[in-house]
């Protein structure tokens, strides 16, 4: 995978402040990518603290591994989906942990690796899997879904108002094999650039990537799993890049910070739910204008942090 375009970690200072790692603590980075956040955490937990670093993409793990060799066995790498984070940590006897980071989505390395098929700027295969052994590629979806299923997918996961026209154009253009072909078909269907600065195919690409990697469902499963292995006072930090992800994190934090989640019209509590999280960031943290100018990826980043409560 291309290393000429290194991934710049977003909201690095804010993540460190949110996780507040201390010397000798144990943390998990569920999305190690190029290892930028992991390295900062390893420094903060020196001399003996450890990080368990996961990524679904073996190519990302290789890059991170090379970057972090100096930290020796203070960092362990596992090729796994973060939906399995609690099971992996238990298997390695790496529990409880003082912090967990999820920096969602894809890295600049993946975006720029033409052969991974994440970008409409270049001629790559229509793939978009983080895990190259994953069951479904973007080409499978584009070429096999019924037109209305494709339209629904683009609408739900891309929040794309023109989803019906796009799905119609894609079905007419089948078979669609490359990212550039997909980008061109979508651009023709929605008619060139819009006023909102986004490339016309941005939302369709986001939708396909989310569907290929089952991103929203994986996040829904990972949040309670992560909470289950935090030590009291341990922190969970999640960086999201679009509103669908951020809403899931916000609602999970809100629900888990309440003692009762009965419907408001119920006169007495019957749910027995007990709060396990204290929300550290009532509003998501976003990038400063300096960071956003320097790293365009940071412009849409939202960081939310919650702390596991001692009961
Ligand atoms: C935004 S990058 C992380 C960048 C990293 N924080 C850094 O500083 O370099 C997201 C990474 O998460 C990985 N990823 C996405 N979804 C995943 C999942 N469900 N399980 C494990 N890794 C995932 C991607 O392969 C990618 O390498």
pTM: predicted TM-score of the whole model, two decimal places? 0.96
The residue length of the chain stands at: 311
Give yes or no for a cis peptide into 67 (omega within 30° of 0): no
Residue range 237-256: mean pLDDT, rounded: 97
pLDDT digits over 73-101, tens only? 999 999 999 999 999 999 999 999 999 99
Side-by-side strand order, sheet with 50-55: 75-79, 50-55, 26-29, 97-103, 230-240, 302-308, 277-279
Q: Measure the CA–CA gap between 240 and 86, rounded to whole angstroms.
A: 20
250 contacts 256 by C-beta, under 8 angstroms: no
Report how far ligand 1's centroid is from the alpha carbon of 101 (Å). 10
Residue 33 CB less than 6 A away from ligand 1: yes
Q: What is the pLDDT of residues 192-226, one digit of tens each?
A: 665 557 889 999 999 999 999 999 999 999 999 99
- Assess whether the C-beta atom of 238 lies below 6 angstroms from ligand 1: no
Q: Is the pLDDT of residue 131 over 90?
A: yes
CA 134 – ligand 1 centroid, Å:
15
Q: Is the CB of 241 under 6 A from ligand 1?
A: no
Query: Which is the closest atom of ligand 1 to the Cα of 31?
Result: 12
* pLDDT tens profile 150-205: 999 999 999 999 999 999 999 999 999 999 999 999 999 998 665 557 889 999 99
Instruction: Give the rounded percent of residues in the chain with a pLDDT score beyond 90.
Output: 87
Q: How far apart are CA 86 and CA 68, in angstroms?
A: 23
Asked if 3 and 63 count as a contact pair (C-beta separation under 8 A), the reply is yes
Tokens of 112: 């720029």
Encode pLDDT of 247-284 as tens digits.
999 999 999 999 988 888 888 888 888 999 999 999 99
Mean pLDDT of 283-302: 96
Atom of ligand 1 nearest to the CA of 38: 8
Q: For the residues of the chain, what is the DSSP string, one character each?
A: ---SSPPPPTTHHHHHHHH---TT-EEEES--TTSHHHHHHHHHTTTT-EEEEEES-HHHHHHHHHHTGGGGGGEEEEE--GGGHHHHHHHTT--SEEEEEEE-S--HHHHH-GGG---TTS--BS---SSTT-S--HHHHHHHS-HHHHHHHHHHHH--TTHHHHHHHHHHH-S--BHHHHHHHHHHHHTS--TTSS-TTHHHHHHHHHHHTTHHHHHHHHHHHHHHTEEEEEEEEEEESSHHHHHHHHHHHHHHT-S--S-TT-SS--S-----EEES-SS-B---HHHHHH-GGGGG-EEEEEEEPP-
pLDDT beyond 90 at 55: yes
Q: Is the CB of 210 under 6 A from ligand 1?
A: no
CB 73 within 8 A of CB 65: no
The residue nearest atom 13 of ligand 1, judged by CA position, is 31
Residue 2 has pLDDT above 50, yes or no: no
Burial of 63 (0-12, 13-18, 19+ CB in 10 A): buried
pLDDT at 191: 81
Q: pLDDT value at position 3? A: 45
Higher pLDDT among residues 88 and 3, named by residue: 88
CB of 136 closer than 8 Å to CB of 190:
no
Which is the closest atom of ligand 1 to the Cα of 9? 8
118 within ligand 1 shell (Cβ under 6 A): no
Give the model's pLDDT for residue 267.
87
């Amino acid at each position: 995978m291309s290393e000429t375009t290194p991934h710049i970690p977003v909201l690095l200072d804010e993540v460190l402040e949110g996780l507040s790692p201390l010397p000798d603590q144990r943390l998990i980075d569920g999305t190690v990518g190029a290892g930028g956040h992991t390295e900062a955490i390893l420094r903060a937990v020196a001399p003996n603290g450890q990080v368990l670093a996961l990524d679904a993409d073996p190519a990302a793990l290789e890059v991170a591994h090379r970057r972090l060799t100096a930290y020796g066995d203070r960092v362990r790498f596992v090729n796994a989906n973060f939906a399995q984070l609690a099971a992996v940590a238990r298997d390695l006897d790496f529990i409880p942990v003082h912090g967990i980071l999820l920096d969602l989505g894809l890295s600049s390395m993946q975006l720029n690796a033409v052969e991974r098929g994440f970008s409409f700027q270049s001629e790559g295969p229509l793939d978009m899997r983080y895990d190259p052994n994953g069951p479904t590629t973007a080409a499978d979806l584009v070429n096999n879904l019924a037109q209305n299923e494709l339209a629904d997918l683009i609408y739900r996961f891309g929040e794309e108002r023109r989803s019906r026209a796009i799905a119609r154009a894609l079905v007419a253009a089948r078979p669609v094999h490359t990212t550039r072909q997909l980008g061109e078909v979508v651009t023709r269907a929605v008619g060139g650039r819009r006023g909102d600065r986004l490339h016309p195919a941005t939302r369709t690409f986001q939708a396909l990537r989310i569907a290929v990697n089952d991103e929203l469902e994986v996040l829904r499963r990972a949040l309670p799993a992560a909470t289950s292995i935090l030590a009291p006072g341990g922190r969970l930090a999640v960086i999201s890049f679009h509103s669908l992800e951020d809403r899931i994190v916000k609602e999970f934090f809100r629900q888990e910070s309440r003692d009762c989640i009965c419907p408001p019209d119920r006169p007495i509590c019957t749910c027995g739910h007990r709060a396990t999280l204290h929300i550290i960031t009532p509003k998501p943290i976003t990038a400063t204008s300096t960071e956003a100018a320097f790293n365009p990826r940071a412009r849409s980043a939202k960081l939310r942090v919650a702390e596991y409560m001692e009961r």
